[in-house]
Amino acid sequence: MDSLVIASNELDSEAIETLESTNAEVVAALAARADALLNTENLGQARDELVIWSESKLLPYASLKAEQMASASREVPTATALADALANGAEAISDIVAVLRNTDEALLAVGAAQALRAVVELQFENELSHLVPLLASASSVDLAKIATAAQALTQQATATVTSSSPEDSHGGHSCGCGESDGEGWPELDARIVPHAIRHATVFGALDAVGPGKGMVLVAPHDPIPLLAQIEQRHPGVFTTEYLERGPEAWKIQFLRKG
C-alpha cells in the first residue's frame, strides 16, 4: 500500500502491517488458483480446487473483515459509507464464487475466476487505502483485534484446505485429463512484487500448491532467509531445487510432498 496511514498507537501500526501481509497471502493464493484455470486441460479439477479454497478461506476472511470493520465504523461516522462498500464487495465476492460453483461452462469458469481475482484485489486495495486509515486514526477502534482475528482465520483455513481435496467436497467427481507430469510448474516472479509484501506473496502462492504439485520461484537474490521461513511454516512439506543461481535471477523449484 502506497498511501500513508497514521495509526493512533503502536498496536494499530502492527495491525496494519498484519492486514497488509495477510491480504497479500490471500491475493497470491487466489492468483495462483485463478491462473491455474488458464494453464491446464483439467479445468474441472482446477475450478473445484478454486471453489473449495474460496469457500473455506476467501469468503470467511472477506466476510469477517467486512463485518468487524462495519461494527468498528460506528465509532467513526466518516467511515460508515466505506464500510458499507466493503460489505457490498464481500457480497459480490460471494456471488462470483457461486457462479464458479454452479457452472460447467469452461469459458464462464475462466472468466469468473479472473473476475474474482480482480474484485478481491480491488476490495483489499480500497480497504487498506481508504477504510483502514480512518479506523486507525480513531483511538476508540481496536484495529489490532480485527487484524488478529482475520489472520487466525486464514491460518485455520489453510490447514483445512491442505487436508482436503476436490473429491472430498464434490462427491468424488474429478476429471482425469491434463494431469501434470511434473514439468511446467507455474512460475512466481518475486522480483516484480513490492518488497514489503514479497515474502507474504510467496507464502500465499505456496499455500495454493497441492500435494504432488509444484511451483517455481524467481527471486532477485539467493532467498536463504525466505527458505528458512518456509521450512519453519511448513516443516518437511516442500522439497527445493535450485534451477538457476544468478546473476540476474535465482530460480528455485518447490515440490509439495504427496
Model confidence at 65: pLDDT above 90: yes
Model confidence at 6: pLDDT above 80: no
Model confidence at 170: pLDDT above 50: no
Model confidence at 251: pLDDT above 90: yes
pLDDT at 169 (0 to 100): 45
Across 57-83, average pLDDT: 95
First-to-last CA distance in the chain? 36
Quote the mean pLDDT of the chain.
86
Residues 194, 223 contacting (CB under 8 angstroms): no
User: Mind listing the pLDDT tens digit for each residue in 94-125?
Assistant: 999 999 999 888 888 999 999 999 999 999 99
Residue 7's CB: how many other CB atoms inside 10 A? 19
Query: Which residues, including other chains, have CB under 8 Å from residue 106's CB and lie 6 or more apart?
Result: 43
- For the sheet with 187-189, list strands across it: 187-189, 214-219, 250-256, 238-245
Across 8-23, average pLDDT: 86
**Highest mean pLDDT of the ranges 57-61, 107-111, 210-214:** 57-61
Model confidence at 160: pLDDT above 90: no
pTM of the model as a whole: 0.77
- Of 197, 33, 39, which Cα lies nearest the Cα of 117? 33
Domains within the chain, CATH numbers bracketed: 10-169 (1.20.120), 187-256 (3.30.110)
pLDDT at 255 (0 to 100): 97
Per-residue three-class SS string for 147-194: HHHHHHHHHHHHHHHHHCCHHHHCCCCCCCCCCCCCCCCCEEEHHHCC
Of the chain, the percentage scoring pLDDT greater than 90 comes to 67
Residue 47's CB: how many other CB atoms inside 10 A? 27
Across 21-27, average pLDDT: 95
Per the model's pLDDT, the better-predicted residue between 47 and 38 turns out to be: 47
Model confidence at 207: pLDDT above 50: yes
Longest dimension (CA), the chain: 56
